[in-house]
Structure 1
Amino acid sequence: MLNAAQLVASFRRHTLSPVEVMCAVLDRATRLDPRVNGLCGIDEEGALTAACEAEERWAKRSPCGPLDGVPVSVKDLVAVRGMPTRYGSLTARADLEHTDAPAVARLRQAGAILFGKTTTSEFGNKIVTDSPLTGVTRNPWDTRRSSGGSSGGSAVAVALGMGPLSLATDGGGSIRIPACWSGVVGFKPSFGLVPAGSASSFVALSSLGPIARCVEDAALMLGVMAGPASADPFAGVERGRDYRTGLADSIAGLRIAFSPQPTGVTVDPSIAACVRRAVLLLEALGARVEEVEVRPLAGYRESKMHSIQWAVSFARRVREMSAVQRTRLDPDVRELAQFGEQVSTAAFVDALAARHTLVQEMAGFFEEYDLLVTPVFHMGPPHVPGLPEALRMAPPLTSWCNQTGQPAVSVPCGLTDEGLPAGLQIISARGADAVVLRVARAYESARGPFPAPPPMADAVEHTAPVGCPS
């Protein structure tokens, strides 16, 4: 399975064609996706047409952008022209979108082939991917377990080679957690760096970002999407930056805070061991690592600031639905909305005030340190179906970054005692996305290649997609 940068290099050398690659992706989707349920829609005809057009451009040595001919999937919370946006919900209409979301439009302009939509929990509501519309999405390493969520479909698609890149969203860990549990790279940019369009929320928590097989691909995709959109009042950064520039620079001398058991959470010992080995590698690369207690986060879990804001946003969404629509919702969404309806004005204002304080205190923390590293999640993926009661709170190791708007990445850092991927989370100050990616790349290079999920012995028999040679 080649990554996006390798595909582009192959197109340039004419050793591979976009049509060959697109057919291979469609073939893998045909064979593997029935086992994991990561894709909820494929525009096969449109993908093959776009691949032929890309092939003609490469034949003339005139690619239209840095992703010309590269297959990219998109989480089904984000609009893609010519495909429906269903949000994992039986309440959503199946009308085809007439316009792309801003980030999708930029991917298309860069030549990406937007071939399919990936599964999500309903409206991205939780950290496992299941919904009334599309059912359960399973982990590519162990199909008895969850892929994570709410961007589980995107993580699964990338992990299994159903396209090297996927556009996902993260409102509390929804990129990083499934990337961690699926053994791929997931990057949540600084809030507002990638325009969210209608995928944003009024509480300003969700960011759009890449899920990829390697850090270089995440940086490539981020550079294509980043920059303000005229309709996005929160975006405030310039376009045109290539986040691959300086990606391979040394990390020697960077001040890295290491929090092995953040916010009082008990981390599974085998996950903790993987993360600690990763930190030792960072130290061997010349970073100045200090094990710390992150005091601004000491009371984060008990404050419920994220849970309150998240629930209120869902209460608002459900309030606008008809009585019939509400009966068709995932019970978890109804429960979340009911909690949001019970939040008093005073409690909501207190949550916003606590958020403001956390933003200030973490800004101070990142004046003392360049980066913070932690585990992505304190335990491995739960079995399907359902979401255990203990995991229904805001994910304590990831959601605070959404409160502060800071960039954070999940990079695979080993396999647990159960043979499942563990993730290293690297975080920095808002706007320091390039630094996060540079440290992630340095670790990834020192770690060496990460294994792919084990073969699926019971994958569906091969049938060539329409339009592709068998």
Structure 2
Amino acid sequence: MTGLPTSLCDCTATQLLALYRSGQASPLEATRAVLQRIERLNPQLNAFCLVDAEAALAAAEASTGRWQRGQAQGALDGVPVSIKDLILTKGWPTLRGSHTVDADQPWDVDAPATARLREAGAVLLGKTCTPEFGCKGETNSPRTGITRNPWDLSRTPGGSSGGTAAAVAAGLGPLSVGTDGAGSVRIPAAFCGNVGLKPSFGRVPAWPLSPYGSVAHLGPHAMSVADAALLLNVLSQPDARDWTSLPPDGRDYRIGLEDGVRGLRIAFSPTLGYAKNVHPEVAAAVERAVQVLADLGAHVEAVDPGIDDPLEITTGLWFVGAATVWSGLTPQQQAVADPDFRAEAELGLGFSAQQVQQLVLRRGALGSHLRQFMQRHDLIATPSVAVPAFEARPAGHSPMDPAAMLGWTPFSYPFNLSQQPAISLPCGLTRAGLPIGLQLVGPMFGDALVLRAARAYETAHPAPRPPLAGR
């Protein structure tokens, strides 16, 4: 095959499957290469909090045998995959970045996402780092320390799926599963220069459901849009444990990926009408990216959706969720909690039931407004995050308030509130060599449309890999 990376670690999942199919490489070879790179780079990145090389090699050996017999088990047979450490995984502790979780207990249940990965034949590598309970847009915690960005080790990979994004960007497995409650898939995808998809709420079943409620989505991290579509095919299979999940649509999200954007109506909103501090290099790169979509035949209109900044709604509901978790901890557990999580919980404890209900009603009005806006537009294009990756910092480095928590990512959280599908994909680098993300938001249930538009841009503007991956 031509045009492939020189290392199996830098192949996409789609490329690896083609190599397995042709006999040019095996799952065992790919897994060994990835594990060797993890051993070399993870001490610098701290992307993984658990690696089970023995289990991964055993799974890869079994997969290799299936491919040799022409009996591939499923859509991801032999592909190395990691899982964010908020997602239950049988046989491994799920510590949620927290000293409050006791590792010494039975771990005998797979979450829906993990179960679907096993059924598809994926090689599970281990668990990726998260801040405590996924509570913030940086990946640091007292339990696992600071996770770092493959493009610049002094910078954060974002969060809360920061370990997931850093692992994929550095070639420590081509696929990973993240979670997104206020941008936690898209923020690290933007900071690490890869593809992060937040599907429509309920498209990917979850269990147990997040304490942060119906803003929380599960989604793919990948180095290509085709890989994100492939992983969504697997993750979106039904699971009765999630009573909020959507009925399966039987869709193969790879079909139609190459249909382009000609004729699509894209609302380009560089500030969403309220973001005041967008970094100039981010703004310029996203404007160039939207022009690429126009050159490909999309009808681009500069228009804001007409919403006020819903930061107060997002953080209010988020803090109440944190308070719910906090209230279930013992005093001994509270004493060892992340100071950022403690601060969020204390803010949440100050909300009355009436105030929470008012936030819910304001959220409903926002969602209704955006549903109506999407009747006139197929997609919304914005920056993914207002700033490039900033300094990697320890837990508790700054006082916690709404602006400190999410003020620098004003484009992500509105679409958790509205539950719409949204994707971040790389659209350039700053002069300092840090990735910039383009966000494309679709109508509710328009996951395939979001992937299709992202693929059109990706085809016209391939993304570079971080220099760390080649070291």
Give the shorter-chain TM-score range: over 0.9
Secondary structure (helix, strand or coil) at the match of 1:248 reads helix
**Matches for 1:66-465 after TM superposition, within 5 Å:** 66-94=75-103, 95-201=105-211, 203-238=213-248, 240-265=250-275, 266-295=277-306, 297-301=307-311, 304-386=312-394, 390-393=403-406, 395-448=409-462, 450-455=463-468
Q: Deviations over 1:148-189 (max 9, x none)?
A: 000000000000100000001000000000010001000000
Matches of 2:382 and 2:179 in 1, distance apart? 21
Matches of 1:423 and 1:210 in 2, distance apart? 16
**What's the offset of the Cα at 1:93?**
1.5
Q: Which amino acid aligns with 2:172?
A: M
Secondary structure (helix, strand or coil) at the match of 2:219 reads strand
Secondary structure (helix, strand or coil) at the match of 1:82 reads coil
Matches of 2:272 and 2:404 in 1, distance apart? 16
Contact 2:50/2:128 (<8 A) preserved: yes
Q: Deviations over 1:409-461 (max 9, x none)?
A: 0000000122100000000111000000000000000113x11111379x7xx
Unaligned 5+ segments in structure 1 are: 460-470
Taking structure 1 as the reference length, the TM-score comes to 0.94
Contact 1:129/1:147 (<8 A) preserved: yes
Q: Which amino acid aligns with 1:172?
A: A
- Please provide the CA RMSD for this pair: 1.4
Q: Which residue of 2 aligns with 1:463?
A: none
Contact 1:38/1:119 (<8 A) preserved: yes
Identical residues among aligned pairs (%): 45
**What's the offset of the Cα at 1:107?**
1.0
Structure 1 residues 121, 199: closer, same or farther in 2, change over 3 A?
farther
Matches of 1:264 and 1:50 in 2, distance apart? 49
Q: Which amino acid aligns with 2:102?
A: R
Q: Which residue of 1 aligns with 2:3?
A: none
Matches of 2:213 and 2:144 in 1, distance apart? 27
Secondary structure (helix, strand or coil) at the match of 2:258 reads coil
Matches of 1:59 and 1:274 in 2, distance apart? 46
Q: Deviations over 1:228-264 (max 9, x none)?
A: 3211111122153210011111211000000012242
Contact 2:170/2:469 (<8 A) preserved: no
Q: Which amino acid aligns with 2:328?
A: E
Contact 2:211/2:324 (<8 A) preserved: no
Matches of 1:60 and 1:415 in 2, distance apart? 44
Unaligned 5+ segments in structure 2 are: 1-9
Matches of 2:156 and 2:237 in 1, distance apart? 33
Contact 1:263/1:396 (<8 A) preserved: no
Contact 1:75/1:154 (<8 A) preserved: yes
Q: How many residues align?
A: 454
Q: Which amino acid aligns with 1:234?
A: T
Matches of 1:190 and 1:267 in 2, distance apart? 26
Per mean C-alpha deviation after superposition, the further-off stretch among 376-385 and 350-359 is: 376-385
